Structure 1
Amino acid sequence: MSLQSSDLPPVEATVVSPPSRPKTRPVARPASDRKAKCSMDEEVPPANSWALWRRGVDWPTVIWIGVAHIAALAAPFFFSWQAFVTFLVLYVATGSLGICMGYHRLLTHGAFQTYKPVRWLLALLGGLSGEGSALTWVANHRKHHKFSDKDGDPHSPRHGKWWSHMFWFMPNRGMKWQKELLARYAPDMAKDRGMVLLHKLFLPSHFALGAILFAIGYYGTALGMGGEHAVWYGCSMFFWGLALRMVYVMHVTWLINSATHIWGYRNYETTDDSKNLWWVALLAFGEGWHNNHHAYQRIASQGHKWWEVDVTYWFILAMEKVGLAWNVVRLRDMPKGTPPA
């Protein structure tokens, strides 16, 4: 299998220089014939600069993140073992299966292939992490790899630790910029009707999950809930299964953008600051072996040494065993002598 160290899709056409012609005085074309300048090609204020923040704040995103954090603060006052187990189950489902396997290794990098319904299910779980739809997540992550720790990287710690952790998505860049981001970095995703539908259902899916969790707590007498404390159990399931779990998964994922570009060790001399950080790898189901991933982005396994545990890769192997995954890209598939990215 012939692979490249970078797997960003060829979303921009190659520019071919025209044959040389005798020098002539340029003739002005009508304004209607001139190509409109793309917003992403215009001069953008530096990351985390006052000029960028002065453009305004993306209030829907800020409010969404803020409400989730405020709701998570209520969870300790509604503890139950049933809700704690729900927290753990959804942590694995949305964190490992949704974000790590679905959004990252499958949809962004194509580390393996699977059936369309499985792709949509993994994208749904990824969306329930609260980190945005698959369309926007994939587009931003592909851009991150193209400009990793350079100008254009959406979330490099070189522009500030907290910027890379959670502030990078808060400035208001405008709807036109967002559309052009998707068109340039995720055109394949935008052609998938299932992904587009999930993009539109991002908020409704969270409302539906919250209602389901509350109903399980309210009516779940078979699970030791409900009864005279039905409302309390409903709140317990809601705050632990939705709010606290979502905030926890968010920050674990964000640590990959921030911590693994600051601390850790390197197996490969890549052109960026990516590092392997063991405690992030444990929290993020193997994603913390970030230098390995940046070196060879399409590899399904991000743990390249025997001690680098990668739980998400175990799930991919399990899917391969039962026929739900195929064309799994392994480290041995890299042509000998392929340099790291």
Structure 2
Amino acid sequence: MIILIFFVAHWYLSLFAQTFFLHRYAAHQMFTMSPTAEKVFYVLTYLFQGSSFLSPKAYGIMHRLHHAYADTEKDPHSPSYSDNLFDMMWKTKNRYNDILNDRADIEPKFKKNVPYWAPIEKLGDLWISRLAWGTAYTLFYIYFATEWWMFLLLPIHFLMGPVHGAIINWYAHKYGYINFKVNDTAKNLLPFDFLMMGESYHNNHHKLGGRANFGIRWHEFDPTYPIILILNWTHVIKLKLNNDLNYM
């Protein structure tokens, strides 16, 4: 039971960091926050994602490219240009690393106002940091696991951030339903998104790229949005008024 609680906690904490800070803030700037709050969420993202920490800077730029060039050859992660899920993940990794290490030729508009805090960016990308987190997960399982099959969950812990991204970038471009006609294959993967904290409403998001609430229809509950409202109400963040506008 302890292992399952730990897995679920890591799944949703990592996912919250990705959808709230990396996606809705770094990439789309759906809300603003103070420099201090930004640093707090930087640290939380590092702690929640652990061994699979994703740079807010690189993620933000890459996701903006995805929206601008969805399902074209310039898309950093399109199933239309990959043979399978793992091929897409490998190509995404290479593109991410090029952006992270400033090897990619990126137009200035895609870099505008992306957050960057060097200490956490550099710490999170160190192999010794990723290895330390992976070791901590493994030791936790050695101590608390009661069945052999529980150890099969460890690879997901190691790659939690990329796993979340792959679920949406592959499956939500292949399966699901649409509410809006868009110029790409984005679909809503789940009618009630209990698994991905609103991220699976991908068709809605591609239509309304700046809208903080990813749910549209009565059954499309976005679990991240109430948290955003609470943080806005407590003045931790400030939602932008033109929240239904596309970013690009």
| TM norm. shorter chain > 0.5 | yes
Does the Cα contact within 8 Å between 2:69 and 2:75 map onto a contact in 1? Answer: yes
RMSD: 3.5
The Cα shift of 1:269 comes to 1.4
Does the Cα contact within 8 Å between 1:280 and 1:287 map onto a contact in 2? Answer: no
Q: Give CA-to-partner distance per residue, 1:251-273, whole Å, 9 cap, x none.
A: 23211111111112211111111
The Cα shift of 1:189 comes to 3.1
1:88 corresponding residue in structure 2: 8
> Does the residue aligned with 1:89 lie in a helix, a strand or coil?
helix
Separation in structure 2 between the aligned mates of residue 159 and residue 288 of structure 1, nearest angstrom: 21
The Cα shift of 1:88 comes to 2.1
Separation in structure 2 between the aligned mates of residue 171 and residue 210 of structure 1, nearest angstrom: 21
1:146 corresponding residue in structure 2: 68
- The one-letter code sitting in structure 2 at the alignment partner of 1:297 is G
2:195 corresponding residue in structure 1: 283
Does the Cα contact within 8 Å between 1:276 and 1:290 map onto a contact in 2? Answer: yes
Separation in structure 2 between the aligned mates of residue 209 and residue 174 of structure 1, nearest angstrom: 20
Separation in structure 2 between the aligned mates of residue 201 and residue 182 of structure 1, nearest angstrom: 24
What number of residue pairs does the alignment pair up? Answer: 236
- The one-letter code sitting in structure 2 at the alignment partner of 1:287 is E
Separation in structure 2 between the aligned mates of residue 201 and residue 327 of structure 1, nearest angstrom: 30
Separation in structure 2 between the aligned mates of residue 153 and residue 256 of structure 1, nearest angstrom: 14
2:24 corresponding residue in structure 1: 105
2:92 corresponding residue in structure 1: 169
Q: Structure 1 residues 115 and 243 mapped into 2: Cα distance closer, same or farther (>3 Å)?
A: farther
Contiguous gaps of at least 5 residues in structure 2: none
The Cα shift of 1:279 comes to 6.6
2:104 corresponding residue in structure 1: 181
Does the Cα contact within 8 Å between 1:260 and 1:274 map onto a contact in 2? Answer: yes
Q: Specify the structure having the higher radius of gyration (Cα).
A: 1
The Cα shift of 1:95 comes to 0.9
Q: Structure 1 residues 176 and 90 mapped into 2: Cα distance closer, same or farther (>3 Å)?
A: closer
Does the Cα contact within 8 Å between 2:2 and 2:144 map onto a contact in 1? Answer: no
Does the Cα contact within 8 Å between 1:213 and 1:241 map onto a contact in 2? Answer: no
Tell me which moved more, 114-123 or 295-304. Answer: 114-123
1:264 corresponding residue in structure 2: 176
Separation in structure 2 between the aligned mates of residue 325 and residue 177 of structure 1, nearest angstrom: 26
Identity %: 23
Contiguous gaps of at least 5 residues in structure 1: 1-80, 218-230
TM-score, reference length from structure 1: 0.58
Q: What does residue range 38-117 of structure 1 map to in structure 2 within 5 Å?
A: 81-96=1-16, 98-117=17-36
1:78 corresponding residue in structure 2: none
The Cα shift of 1:323 comes to 1.9
Separation in structure 2 between the aligned mates of residue 240 and residue 311 of structure 1, nearest angstrom: 28
> Does the residue aligned with 1:155 lie in a helix, a strand or coil?
coil
Q: Please point out which of 163, 169, 173 is paired with 1:251.
A: 163
TM-score, reference length from structure 2: 0.77
Separation in structure 1 between the aligned mates of residue 72 and residue 95 of structure 2, nearest angstrom: 21
> Does the residue aligned with 1:137 lie in a helix, a strand or coil?
helix
Separation in structure 2 between the aligned mates of residue 313 and residue 111 of structure 1, nearest angstrom: 11
The Cα shift of 1:311 comes to 0.8
